[in-house]
Amino acid sequence: MANVVQPNPETVDVLLDTTWRMVDAEAARTDSLDRKAATLATFASLLVSLTAALGGRFEGGVAGASAFGLFCAGLLTLVLSIALAVKARLGRRSGSRPPRFAAKPCER
């Protein structure tokens, strides 16, 4: 007969608790980044739309160049905020950071 190893219930409880705490911490981090990215995307899209609508009134010169620069900055901010939101949604890849919660070693 083969020896069957029975897991220690206390060890299993500790590991399950640690796993759930890690999942909750990751979900909170992702939600926070997602809210920040959504706020930034809203601001950037408002900036881009207002500059596009009102920037056509400036033809050349310093005013036209500044309106075009403002439009490009808003568009870049919008693209970066979307990239940040996608990164937050995809979550952390393995190996990028060690976990914040680790199980305590069990006594034998």
Q: What's the pLDDT at 67?
A: 78
- Among left, alpha and beta (phi > 0; psi -120 to 50; other), residue 60 is left
Quote the number of domains for the chain: 1
Task: Give the pLDDT score at 18.
Answer: 92
In a domain? residue 32: no
Residue 100 located in a structural domain: no
Amino acid 20: pLDDT? 92
Whether 67 contacts 55, CB under 8 Å: yes
Q: Is residue 21 part of a domain?
A: no
Rounded CA gap, 48 and 52, in Å? Answer: 6
105 domain residue, yes or no: no
Q: Count of CB atoms within 10 A of residue 81's CB?
A: 20
| pTM flag (> 0.85) | no
Q: Is residue 35 part of a domain?
A: no
CA distance linking residue 68 with residue 51, whole number of Å: 8
Domain around 60: 40-91
Instruction: Name the residue type at position 20.
Output: W
Low-confidence ranges of the chain (pLDDT < 50): 94-95, 98, 108
Alpha helices in the chain (DSSP H): 9-54, 61-90
Residue 7 in any domain: the answer is no
